[in-house]
Structure 1
Amino acid sequence: MAKIFKFMPNESVGAKANVQAFIARCRKDLDVLAPEIEWDSNFWRGEVGFTKAGVNARKVEAESLLDQDIISFAKAYVTYQKAHNPCVRATARRIMAIRCIEPALLKVKNVADISLVDPVVLDQAAAVARECYPATAYQASSELNRLVGFLLEHKLVERGFYWRCAIPVSSKIGRLDRAGKKASQDKLPPEHVLHYMAEMFSNNPQSSADKYVVSLFALLMCAPSRISEVHDLPSDCLHYEKDQSGSEKLGLRFYSAKGFGPTIKWVSTAFKDVAVTAVERIKELTDEGRRAAKWYEEHMDKFYRHAACPLVHEDALLTPVQICDALGIEYAGFAGQARKVLKNSSSPIRAFLEGNSISLDEVTLAVLNKYAHSRLPKGFPWKNEKKQLKWSDSLFCMRVNELHHQRGVSPIIVWGPGSSSISSALSITSGVREMQTVWDRSGYKNPDGSRVSLTTHQVRHFLNTTAQRGDLGQFDIARWSGRANVSQNNTYNHMSDDEYQEKIGSFQALKALAGPLEKITANSPVTLADLGAIGDVMAHVTEFGFCVHDYSMLPCQKHRDCLNCTEQVCVKGDEAKVARLKLQREAIFLQLAQAEHALAEGYYGADRWTVHQKQTLDRADQLIALLQSDDIAPGAIVRLRCDQEFSPLKRELAAKSSQSKLSESVGGETHYSLGESHGKTPD
């Protein structure tokens, strides 16, 4: 287990002395870095480069490095933070604050002394963050706040103060303009690239490097995951379980890197066979690595006897050829070449032998066993102690050079791939030496002839967007993705406006807003406005349609004689109402026959009742004909006129009309009379 400590400042000394004590303690007591990383180096491979803001971290020229007055503190700070928070990208994040502080100190104080940090320096550092990290300035802001809290807590500045940086998230995130939409779509993998990968997976590449890349990509397509999560899968990661219907489901045992913890990410039915095949191929590739790791767990005092290991005693002296065979070093079959290879200045075994004062002629398997144990990964046998994952149980337990295209695989040195192993194989990397990608080796190009490049995070965005398109619940998407914060789903959702419109149009509840027929189907209230009348109140339901009468003005004047009322509205397509109309028509026909019989018998009033029934039957026939007509679209509103209809409104209008005419007549006569009295001729 890695050694860590809690730094306790000395209250009796100044900030500068505490800074020096902190640096010395971190350099001496912390062992969280990989064994190949040297403290004095300014580029820690796989961790961080101590370069200025805005400079390629791999450029270690003097002018690109952090100022010498702050670089030692930077190394101590990122190491201390890594020890207390061993996140995958913690080191790269923590250095952001130092890179912002350094130019601010030089500008304000003329010296990069971390103990001189004050609010003025920090304001300048915030300006540097905005300039050098335009897309992720809010992350730099968060790291500055973290650094300030650390400096104040551990008495590493001369005077206490309060300062807070609050740079908002970039406005580019969530933008809806053309540039924002393009940036959103660029986070998704191109469709043709996914087809390329599917073809490679189907062809089952034989080289170890390509088999690793294609199989790992297949696992990334099974569930939204990060590279670190996939690399920490156990060898028995496949989990089978039956659902309530008895169908067998497949899941992958993950440990989320974003706060959700251990979980099972379920694989869709379409990818079930893909997941099983990918795991089988990776197991085949890594079996020897797990076997070696298991040996080191159980046989600390014996050299790992792999297939090419010399069959000699542990303490027997070895020839250069036997040493090369034991270590898996290629020597072209010549004894002289074997000795030459072992004496190469860049040979790790030479450095080990010289460091332990052992000559080449004194090497035994016991000596090589000590060398092999010195090359074991940090924290062995644990690959990830937090997840309780041992190297011997890891799906991605490999050996050194397992994925190298030219160097021979070391049979004795356990190794595991990192994020760069897959990213450099999928995406074009900038550097002095151009690396071939898996696309280049397989001859794939973009439609425009350019090189194919893809990031693994694009797959995560793709799966999250696909889940959004499939209407998976937000909590389920967050759980499937292994994130604790559901609100972060929005960052990975890249559905287009057209897709949202199509989805909204398919909602039954929203469909009901389109017209009365849809509302009837959805059993939703129908308003007067839906039926072409004035008002937003609900329309009254009748046997055959809806009544648009405003009952707040006066009660029904038809005594529910709806068929002869012009305030009844029917909707084409409501088959239940049409069926009732047909039943009512049959009843009216019977009533008409009875009225005609009564009329023939001479019953008083039968004539008026016969006329009424004929009129009602005629209107029922008209309504049924219209509601069943192919010329009328479903959802159309049908409303019959009735010129003979009596209503108080018509009576009032008629009364006003006749009163107006009477007034005009009386007015004309009066005018004429007055005209005569004044001796004038009327016009």
Structure 2
Amino acid sequence: MSNVVHFVPKAEVDAKENLEEFIRVAREELTVFGHRQAWDSDRWQHGKTVAVFSTKTAPLSNYSFVPLADPFRQFAKAYLRYKYSHRPVVSVAYWLNALRCIEAALLDVHGCADVVKLNLATMDVSAGKCREFYVSEDVWHKTGLVMQTIFDFCRESRFVATLPAWKSPFRKSVILTEDLGEKGAAHRTARLPSNNAMLAVADVFCQAEDLESKYFSSILVLLMVAPGRVSEVLQLPKDCIGWEEDDNGQRQMYLRWRAAKGKGATKKWILPAMQSVVEEAVRRLTEIGEPARAAAKYAFDNPGKFMHHPLCISPPGTNDYDPLSPEEFCAAMGILGDFTAAVKSERAQWVKLKRQAKWIAGLVKNGVVTYSMLGEYVLRTYSGYYWPYIDAARTVYAWEALCLHRENELHQKFSVKEFSWRIATSNQVNARLGGVEIKESLFERHGLRKPDGTPIVLTTHQLRHWLSTMSERAGMDDFTLAQWAGRANVTHNRHYDHRSPEERLDAARAIAVDEKPSVLARFVSRQSVSYQELGVDRLGTAKATLYGMCTHDYAMAPCQKQQECMTCKDHVCVKGDHITLDRILVLEQQTADLLDRARHAEEEGIFGADRWVDNHKWKLAHVRAMRMTLENSSVPDGALIRIPEGHDPSAIQRVLMELDAVPNLDSPSSALPIEIKALTGDGNA
């Protein structure tokens, strides 16, 4: 676990001392990326995060690079370690892009790469270097934001005596899925595979006979049944299939899924038509990976011990620490070829073997190899960073992984490493879809091409784009689609929606209405309803309540009922909303329970209980009458229902009643509708 240290600059020292102290803190007190022993290296790795401190002012490739110039390189290492300690990320590519641009700008403007020489001209040149080094507008925008953050950090940390504020000149690129021009059309065509290409994937799965086709086509099938990322499929457990009953009692299948990019654990529901296909894909992957799971479990249960397999030729009773002959070594490690036949001495045989591969030379460098050494080599080679798990979340053990297989298991020529276990990478899956890493894709192997005869080339992420677009065309709502696709943010759907502008327009027209929706429709969808539509001659919009809508004028006085809406003349219920009816049923039961408790208290002679009995009877009568009206089939949906005016007299009306200035009600129930009288026992219904 890395230490979290906050750097606090000192105002009383100069910029150079602040910079030196910052670099010292990052180098000596932070532990991420290997603490002090990794500082001098120009290539850092922490889990799957790799940082290469290379410059863009010299040729850069996957095999060679020139480090950043000093003293800027020391600042770059300190900044990256410090930022990563506070906010770990999977990729630091944009951080490194920004640092490379700043280094190149310092060299151009000042002739040396020193952070203390930062000024406005250097910052502007950094933006120019970003345009020079990279071609994508999206990369410009994201790299520019990181450069802006770095400059702000330098200013706040007082690494520069005076540094003005700087804002990135790069605007956020247009979302091409929504672009109406030629770029948008080209983007949608490139990202969205054709239906013929998707059917070709299904054909490969159906026709697969060799292990390689079965393995990779099964992974593709799991990507086709629900929108997902290939990295998520590769981390599935072997018991990923689950079943649950729906509201109709039908068993529905789902996959136990862990979505990337912050979504976490979720369920991927599978359409009934695809359930048997998913079961077959999981069965194939489980069968292919069984020997690899056994090897991984053996390595975990027996750390440092080599798993003896049928190809081993050592005699029974051979000790793990006994030296192996070249023949025994080759048999144990699955090395094919008679490398030792033409050489008589064992020493010469070892020398010849060391020339075959670097890993062999590393094992036999001392001329003695034992099964114990092989066991340590196997664990070191195949365990991975998260051992004994396969994922950063540490939820799936290696011997429980669905997509596990042995090394060379899927190779046409090389022999299988009986003791090994591994999982295919995203690049290897993409290569089978027509990538450049292999000569023959799965489509070519099965004689499948486009209708025009050209090769089919796909990527795994195109399957995700295709499913999302098809879901949009079928009318799936944004929230459901985001949940199904494992997206943490609903707004991300727009990047996967490749419908044409015409399709979007047709979808908008389909939901457009020519006339204003009814009061019921707007009430159910929580849209505004005016006072006039509820029979009140006043400008404004009614307030929604748990049971309907309130027409009280809050500009004149606050609520006088303390939210006792069901006995208020200003409250309106709308027939036809089942949610409102369910809430009224709950309120009726609660009020009935309170009435029973008040009656029990009255029987026990508790002072004031009789008043509560009257209060609860009065409220229950109104609630039941409203519920009966809402359930009455003769009352049309959309009808507006409220209690009579006389059931809720104002304070002034009560005084006038006492003075006999207005007609008085003998009792609250004497003016109730016949339904309410029957409920309270005061009438004959």
Same fold per TM (> 0.5)?
yes
8 Å Cα contact 1:424/1:435 also seen in 2: no
Cα deviation, 1:509-541, whole Å, max 9, x if unaligned, reads 63779xxxxxxxxxxxxxxxxxxxxxxxxxxxx
> Superposition pairs for residues 142-541 of structure 1, below 5 Å?
142-148=145-151, 162-165=165-168, 167-171=170-174, 173=176, 174-208=178-212, 210-309=213-312, 310=314, 311=316, 312-332=318-338, 339=350, 342-344=353-355, 346-354=357-365, 359-360=366-367, 362-375=368-381, 376-429=383-436, 435-504=439-508, 506-507=510-511, 510=513
Alpha-carbon distance in structure 2 between the residues aligned to 1:411 and 1:226: 30
Give the CA deviation at 1:480: 1.2
Match among 135, 140, 145 for residue 137 of structure 2 = 135
Which runs of 5 or more residues in structure 1 are unaligned? 514-683
Return the offset for 1:118: 4.3
Alpha carbons 2:235, 2:391 under 8 Å: kept: yes
Change (3 A) 1:444 1:505: same
Contact residue 81 and residue 91 of structure 1 kept, 8 A: no
SS at match of 2:92: helix
Indicate the SS of the match to 2:323. coil
Deviations 1:216-242 (A, max 9, x none): 111111111112222221222112111
What TM-score, normalized to structure 2? Answer: 0.63
CA contact 1:51–1:60 (8 Å) conserved in 2: no
Check 1:264–1:102 CA distance in 2 against 1; reply closer, same or farther (3 A cut): same
Q: For residue 135 of structure 1, what is the amino acid of its counterpart?
A: E
Q: Judge which range, 108-117 or 75-84, deviates more.
A: 75-84
- The CA RMSD measured in Å over matched residues stands at 3.9
Structure-2 residue corresponding to 1:553: none
Contact 2:303/2:376, CA 8 A, preserved across alignment: no
Whole-Å separation in 2 of the counterparts to 1:50 and 1:314:
43
Which stretch of the first structure deviates more once superposed, 474-483 or 77-86? 77-86
Once the 2 structures are TM-superposed, how far is the Cα of residue 474 of structure 1 from its aligned partner? 0.8
Cα deviation for residue 189 of structure 1 reads 0.9
Are the equivalent residues in 1 in contact too, given 2:3–2:31 (CA < 8 A)? no
Q: Which secondary structure does the structure 2 equivalent of 1:460 belong to?
A: helix
C-alpha change, 1:192 and 1:275, in structure 2 (3 Å) is same
Kindly provide the amino acid, as one letter, of the partner of residue 224 in structure 2: M
Quick check: 230-239 or 125-134, which moved more?
A: 125-134
Q: TM-score, normalised by structure 1?
A: 0.64
Deviations 1:114-161 (A, max 9, x none): 454444333322333345243312222333345446656777666666
Aligned partners of 1:30 and 1:83 also within 8 Å: no
Amino acid at match of 2:380: S
Stretches of structure 2 lacking an aligned partner (at least 5 in a row): 344-348, 517-685
AA matched with 1:129: C
Q: Contact 1:440 / 1:451 at 8 angstroms: preserved in 2?
A: yes
CA contact (8 A) 1:51 1:65 kept: yes
- Corresponding position of 1:522: none
SS of 2:417's partner is coil
The residue that corresponds to 2:103 in the other structure is: 102
Q: Structure 1 counterpart of 2:322, which letter?
A: A
Q: Does the CA-based 8 Å contact 1:402-1:409 persist in structure 2?
A: yes
> Does the Cα contact within 8 Å between 2:232 and 2:258 map onto a contact in 1?
yes
Q: Deviations over 1:604-637 (max 9, x none)?
A: xxxxxxxxxxxxxxxxxxxxxxxxxxxxxxxxxx
**1:245, CA displacement in angstroms?**
0.9
Q: 1:336 Cα shift?
A: 5.6
Q: Which amino acid aligns with 2:194?
A: P
Q: 1:98 to 1:277 in 2, by over 3 A?
A: farther
Aligned length, in residue pairs: 497
Residue 438 of structure 1: CA displacement?
Answer: 2.9
Q: Residues 324-366 of structure 1: CA distance to partner in whole angstroms, max 9, x if unpaired?
A: 2222222348556874663126331321443xxxx33x32211
Partner of 2:674: none
Give the C-alpha shift of residue 198 in structure 1: 1.2
CA shift in 2, pair 1:121/1:399, >3 Å? farther
SS, match of residue 488 in structure 1:
helix
Q: What SS does the corresponding residue of 2:390 show, helix, strand or coil?
A: strand
Q: Percent identity?
A: 27
Further displaced range: 72-81 or 163-172: 72-81
Distance 1:500 1:398, change over 3 A: same
Match of 2:256, SS?
strand
Contact 1:4 1:30 in 2 (8 A): no
Bigger mean CA deviation after superposition, 297-306 or 38-47? 38-47
Deviation at 1:25, TM superposition (A): 5.2
Q: d(CA) in 1 for partners of 2:263 and 2:142?
A: 21
> How far does residue 501 in structure 1 lie from its aligned partner after superposition?
4.4
Distance 2:432 2:77 in 1: 30
